Structures are given as C-alpha cells and as structure tokens.
A and B are shown apart, each in its own frame.
Chain A
Amino acid sequence: MFDALGPKTLMLTRPLLSGTAAGLIVGHPTLGMAIGATLELIALGVYTYGGATIPDYQTGAIIGTALAATGTGTIPAQTAIGIAVGLPAALLLASLDPIGRFLPTFLIHRADQYAVEGNARGMARMHWLGLVPWLLPRAIPTFLAGLALNSDTVTNIQNNIPEGLVNGLTFTGSLLPAVGFAMLLTIMPLRSYWYMLLIGFVLFAYLKVPLVGIALFGLPIAIMFVLFANRSTAAGTAAEAPATAPATAPATGATDQEVTA
C-alpha cells in the first residue's frame, strides 16, 4: 500500500493534489483532501524560487494521509493527526531535498562528454536520469514511514491522545494558513498597493461575496487600474514630448537621437 504512495509524478507537486491522490489510494479521499488542503494553505507562499530548498509539503501530505488513514475516528480528529504527522515530516524532508538537487551534477558532466561526441541519445539519457535523485529522497522516507508505523501504532495514539490536544491541533490547523498568507504578503509590494486588500476584505466580510465572486470582481478592477495608470503615464510623456522636441531639434542631430531613444 505504501509503495504506491512513494513515487510522485511531476503533476502532483502541490500538497492538495498529492494529499487527495494519496487519500484515493488508501481509500480515504475525503481525509486526504482535508489534510492536503490544510498543508496547501500553509504552503501558499512557499515556492522554490531560484532553486531554494523548501519544506516538502506535498510528500508531507502523502505521509500524513497514509498514516492518519490507518486510524479510526472522526474526520476532524484524523485530519488533526494527519497534520501533526505531515507537517514535521515536510519540514524534516526538506533536509533531504539538496540530495536531489546535487546528484544530477554528475549527470551533467557525463552529458558534457556526450555533447562533445555529438551523442544526443546519451545526453537525453542523462537528462531523464535526473528524475531518479529527485524521486528517491522522497519515496524512500515515505516507504520507511509506512513500515515503521503500522495501523496499531496510530490507533494506539488515537486512543490515548487527550481530547484537548486534538482541539489544539485542529485549532492550529486553522491558524497555520496565516503563515502562508503572510508569506505571500511579504513578496507583494504592500507599501504601494496595500489599499487593494481592503476591497477584497469588504467584499467578503461585509458583502458576503464568495471567493470566486471576489476573484471575478478583482479582474476588471485590475484591468482598469493598468489602463488608467497607462493612460496617465502616456499623457505625461505626450505632454512633455512636444515641449522638449522643438526646443532641442534645431540644435544638433545628437539631441534628436536622445529624444527618440
């Protein structure tokens, strides 16, 4: 059962999708979706910019789902356990990520040789072999986690876990998306456009518009914003151009070039 969960295809590189897929495989799609969605929201602003190593939330979602599914209990309680397992797993797996990014270095040196020989097939083989060091650091820990914790362990944990802790974990799960959102906000130019946040907030908090509705409302506003900003800068340059061009044009050809440039 856990073998099937390890290898991931390139399409499933977000926790929502990997969690749901893992849930489908172990027969608890709803659970996998809930765990995946929670981890997804934590991971919102987390992407591998310039090849940086990031917490491996998608594999965390797989491990969390697989282990939570072996227990019994209500969906919220199982979800809480899945997150309690999946989140630390995601953080720990990040330490293995550099292996997958380092090993293909050897492959590219082989590819260099093939390129000198003009051997395209050898180069292609090196290229596709790059998948292996990417997959194994994820598949092997997932497999081991599956072996280490059999269903009895999870059930035991579930029976002995205090109800207060489950409440705390559930609460934490609903709190953690704030990290994802905050991370997103740090990479946005909040200083110049912070007031845009208010539009969405008012739409949701006071007018009770659903999320898709907010997105549809935001689209025309964004388009108008760009058009107006454009018009004002275009008007600005148009107003300046006639003023400067006649003054400099008679002087020399060199200034003329500056104006057109």
Chain B
Amino acid sequence: MTAADVTTPSAAAPAPPEDAEGTGLRKSDLRRSFWRFFWSFEISWNYERMQALGFAYAMEPVLRRLYPEKDAYAAALQRHLVFFNTSPVVGAPLIVGSAISMEEADAPASAEGIKVGLMGPMAGIGDTLTYALYNSIVFTIAASFALQGNFFGPIFALIFISIPYFLVRRWQFFWAYNRGKAIAADIGRGLLDKITMGSTVFGLIVLGGFIPSIVHVVTTLTYRQHLTVQGKPVIQSVNVQDQLDNVLPYALPVAVTAIVYVIMKKYRVNPVWIILGLAVVGIAIGWGGWFAPTLPSK
C-alpha cells in the first residue's frame, strides 16, 4: 500500500513525457501486482462476487500505469470488479498474468474473455491438482510422521506447501504474462490434461500405499481350535488377525475404507453423518475390545 502511494503523484501528473512511457508496464508494476495477489488474493472472498475484489486489487498497480487519466482508470477498476472465482494456486495466477498482458495490449475485451473463459476450467483442474492430489500427499506423509511423534512432520508440510506453492504461482503469473495471447492455444493443446492425468496416476499409487499405512484396524478376536497333537486332543487359541494376515495383509483397513467409500459414493451420504456414525460404531467396538488400532504386544 505504501509502495502504491509513492507512484500516486507520477500517475496523477498529466505530464506529456510521462505519457510516452506510461503505455509500457515496468517490471516493478508486475512485481507489485504479483505480491498483492500472493499475499491477499482470497481475503475478501464473499458469496456475491467471490474473488472479484482480490482480482481488482491485484490488477490495480498495472491499471494505474496503463490508464493515466482518472476516468479510464476508474472504468478499468470497475471492469475488474466483476464476479470472479477460480482455483487460487493453480489457475488464478495464470489468469491474472494473462489479463495483465491483454490490458497492456490495449485489449480489455480479451482480458474479460480470458477471465470468463478460463476461470471455470481452471477451477476444476486447479483444485484437483493442488488440493485433492498434492496437498493430500504432502499432508498424509506429514501426518504419519506427526503420529509417530516426529516433529519433522509439520516442518515437512510447511516446507512442501509454502515453497512449491510460491514458486508455482510466480511461474504461472510471469509465464502467462509473457505468453500473452498464445496462452489459450497452449492450454488447448492439452498441456493441462497431461498434467492432470499424470498427477491422478501418481496420486492413486500413493493412496494405495497410504490407506493401509494410516488406517489402523486390527481385530483382537481369537477362536479355539481343536487339534490332535500326537494322538492327544489339544485346544489351541488362534488369533483371527494372524489368519487374516496370511490371506491378505491389511485387509481390515482396506475393508473399512472401501465401505466408507461405497456409502459415500453410492448412497451420497453427507460425510458429517459418516463421521458421526463411524464415531458411534468405533467407540462401541473399541470399548468392547474386539478391535483395536494395533495388536497388544505379546
């Protein structure tokens, strides 16, 4: 905000020499726009226009440079205060960057077009990539460290969220700005499809290992087996869990996850009810002592 104030006099002054370079954006304008985007894009999120104010706020340093006359500047601000919503990490920086390049090319209609055209698809792709895939993997690893009492867990999450998310946003922003109009073609060429497919495969492989390692369920049930050892009848106590492990290790965690998945997917039960239901069943069964997170050490 203080940086913006410094530029106020020069932008307000209608000096002719200023006009000549007024059309060209400076690197500092782009940087200021990026930092505004980075720190505050979603803080004024609301039901009516969602990320609109964040978008306009990020565009403001650029618009101030491009439109020295007050009327045009005010009109540009209003233009960018329209409804906008997309994925904040993968998607939004791309769109802000390309909207800037189009405003610079004196094509506000194209800026408008790219905003409307990209925000929908990027919302779906971006949310899936960042939240569903990347975040889940990082936080599952981090939480598994944390559950072992290892402080590397939260540190791991902090590092692997903040640094890549900063880099990926900066890259998109400046890449989109430099690509300008060609960006629609790049996205059309299926670049995003490839990224989405690759991360889906990656995510599923990782999930396949995470589920049995994180969901801890074993049964403590035993049954008696009548054996004949050297002609004498012997009653032997057999642990059900050992038998299960012989057939399929981690069968119970997989079964629990599969049941919850089916309830969620097929019957579309609200997750909150599933959590409550699972809590009731879990407390009852855990209290009864038939099942436990881990087998008691013998």
Contacts and interface: CB of A to CB of B under 8 A. Distances in A.
Nearest to B71: A118
Given A41-B214, A186-B264, A218 B287 contact: no
Contacts of B105: none
| Interface of chain B, main secondary structure | helix
B189 to A, nearest CB: 11
Given A14-B161, A124-B4, A201-B250, 18 more contacts: A14-B135, A16-B143, A20-B146, A33-B153, A101-B45, A104-B46, A126-B44, A128-B43, A162-B287, A165-B287, A174-B215, A175-B217, A178-B215, A178-B257, A182-B257, A184-B136, A193-B201, A203-B208
Centre residue among B49, B283, B289 by max chain A CB count within 10 A: B283
- In order of increasing CB-CB distance, the 9 nearest A-B pairs are A200-B208, A171-B286, A130-B44, A172-B282, A200-B209, A168-B283, A168-B286, A218-B205, A196-B204
A6 B43 CA distance: 17
Interface string A133-165: 010000000000000000000000000001011
Contacts of B214: 41, 177, 181
B264 A197 contact: no
B272 A105 contact: no
Contacts of A225: 197-198, 201
Interface in A187-243: 187-190, 193-194, 196-206, 209, 211-212, 214-215, 217-219, 221-223, 225-226, 229-230
12 contacts: A30-B149, A37-B144, A44-B139, A117-B74, A127-B54, A171-B292, A175-B215, A181-B257, A182-B260, A198-B208, A206-B249, A211-B209
A148 B128 CA distance: 40
B212 A204 contact: yes
Centre residue among A40, A55, A201 by max chain B CB count within 10 A: A201
Contacts of B53: 104, 107-108, 111, 123, 126-127, 130
A179 B278 contact: yes
B27 interface: no
Interface string B265-298: 1000001101100110011111111011100000
| Interface of chain A, main secondary structure | helix
A167 interface: yes
B80 to A, nearest CB: 9
Interface of B: 1, 4-5, 40, 43-50, 52-54, 56-57, 60, 64, 70-71, 73-74, 77-78, 81, 85, 123, 127-128, 131-132, 135-137, 139-144, 146-147, 149, 151, 153-154, 157-158, 161-162, 194, 197-217, 249-250, 253-254, 256-257, 260-261, 263-265, 271-272, 274-275, 278-279, 282-289, 291-293
A185 interface: yes
Contacts, number: 334
Contacts of A134: 43, 45
A87 B292 CA distance: 20
A201 B291 contact: no
A7 interface: no
A242 B177 CA distance: 37
Contact of A222 (B147, B201, B285): B201
B44 A127 contact: yes
A33 to B, nearest CB: 5
B201 to A, nearest CB: 4
B157 A16 contact: yes
